[in-house]
Every structure is written in structure tokens, then in C-alpha cells.
Copies of this chain bind each other. A is one copy, B any other.
Amino acid sequence: MTNKDPHNSSRLMSISAVERDCGLAKDTLRVWERRYGFPNPLRDHHDERLYPADQVVTLRLIRRLVEAGHRPGKIVGRPDKDLTELLRHVGVPAVQTIGSEAKQVLKLLGTYDAVGLRELLNAIVLRAGLGAYAAEIGPGLAEAVGAAWSRGELEIHQEHLFTEQFTTVLRSAIHAAQGAGLPRRRPRVLFSTFPQEPHALGLLMAEAMFTLEGCLGISLGVQTPIPEIAAAAKAHSADILALSFSSMIPAPQAIAGLTELRALVPENVEIWAGGTCPGLRPKAGFRVFRELSAIAPGVGAWRSRAGAGTPT
């Protein structure tokens, strides 16, 4: 067996370590090298790729740009300077409004202070409220952390740590909101993602927005096969199916899945899609929410449409 990995040492990384670090498949790394001449790794004595640290950082920049909708052919091989310039124009521009919190988060991640981070996030959610935390501050902080990672200022496991703490705080805030005064009433909303989509963050943020509107929420977790989503919708007599997408799924596949789902559930069950999937357009049979803030009015509209909004 040959378990290539320890090469994190001495600033040279094996292809599997780069795959873990950058989230780029080995096949993709190899085909980019063939096509664009980058990355350009060294080789060990048995011709296995060894990626220098600086190329890994460049790959991180590329990864972010591709996620934001840029095409590899246009950017792979360009110097870091160009890439950072392009990156300036992507992402949430509201970073300055949460600049001080973001700085604190990065500092806590730098000192491996998970507890401090959780306390900070808890303080933020208490001060700003669940809505702002989920819809504005959260995405802003995630953006800041992702940007720091792509600049090489953070390691991937620190981003994971942030996600974990952020998720924990958000989940418990949702839980608290569900238990609080406000009586729960329809729509009954079912949350999940398609099998190709492992990201839970967007889903959870959506869940927060629906919870604030007093909806009844049921989370299936991520990566549920489409037939099972339909089955669960029936079992729980859901009114709305909320599906979250990132750029992991290409838009046509998302649309195909949504259409398939549409055919499996009754007409009166609505399908709402959201997330950061470049090029996902609304079509007959489902709605697309590009902003979390659009959820609240959407729920209001649903309730007017549905009549009085029958309790439970």
C-alpha cells in the first residue's frame, strides 16, 4: 500500500494533501497541469508530484475564483497579482461593516481558541439577533475566513473549525428560537440538499430565516437522495421544500434535480431553491431565492396565498 501524505513537511505536499487542502480533485490537478502548464510540481524519485507551498496558495486563489464563477482556462497560469486583483471583485462587499468582528475571528482562529470563538459568536448572535447573524454577519465572516485561507493566512482545518463553531452557535440559537414564545405555524418547511451537495451552512442559515418567521421546520440533513426527499415531504406533509445549493453542483444538474423532485411531490407543495449557484435560474415548478432576506417576505406571501395560515 502507499498512503501518500506526510509530505506536508518541508513545504512540499503530495497530490492527495493538495486535494484535501484546496478541494481540487486529483484528476483536475493533473489535467490542469497538462493543459495549462500549471500547477508545475516537482517530482520525487518515483515521479510522484510534490507541490511547493507557493503553488498551493495560488491554487487556493484559483479555487475561490472558480467557485465564484470564473473559468479555469482564463485564470489558471496567471500570476498571483492578477488573481488577487480579480478576487477583489468577488464576494460579499459588506466586509468593512463587520471588519472588527472578522478581525477578532481571525485572531481567535490563529490562537486555536475554539472556546473564545464560540463565546464571541454567541455574543454576536445575542447582540445582533438571529436574523442579522444568519443573513449578514455569518456570510460576511465566512467570506472573511475563506479569503484569509486563500491568501495563505489560515489553514484549511482552521476554516473547518470556524464552520463548526459557527454552526453550533447557529443551531443552538435556532433551537432557542423554536422554544421561545412565538407559536409555530405553517408553512411546514422541509430542509435538505441533493446528494452532490455536502455543505450544511447555507441550509442552516435558511432554516434560521424560516424559524424567525415562525415556520415549522424539519431538517433532513444534507445529501438526501431525491426520492427520499419526496417521501419525507409526504410523510411530514410539508408545504415547502427548501433546497440549498453551492457551486459544487452545476446549474443544469440542479435544475434537473429540482424538476425530478417537482414530478414526485403534489402540486400544492412548493419548491424553494437558494444558495450560491452561479446561473441557477427560476423555472416553472420552483422558485429561486438569491438572498436570505427574501425568505421572510416569501413566507408572508405564502401565508396570504394559503389563507389564514392554519395553526399546526
Q: Which residues of A are interface residues toward B (Cβ below 8 A)? A: 1, 3, 5-6, 8, 17, 20, 111-112, 114-115, 155-157, 160-161, 164, 168, 171-172, 195-196, 218-226, 228, 231-232, 235-236, 249-250, 253, 256-257
Contacts and interface: CB of A to CB of B under 8 A. Distances in A.
B114 A157 contact: no
Contacts of A219: 114
A111 B3 CA distance: 39
A161 B112 contact: no
A224 B157 contact: yes
B5 A222 contact: no
How many copies are assembled?
A: 2
Contacts of A222: 157, 160
Contacts of A171: 168
Contact of A157 (B1, B111, B221): B221
Nearest to A168: B171
Best-buried of A161, A222, A236 by chain B (most CB within 10 Å):
A161
Best-buried of A111, A115, A225 by chain B (most CB within 10 Å):
A225
A157 B223 contact: yes
Contact of A223 (B115, B160, B231): B160
Contact of A235 (B111, B160, B221, B228): B111
Contacts of A17: 195
B160 A221 contact: yes
Given A172-B172, A253-B3, A8 B114 contact: no
Given A17-B195, A171-B168, A228-B155, A114 B221 contact: yes
Contacts of A6: 253, 256-257
Contacts of A1: 250
A114 B220 CA distance: 7
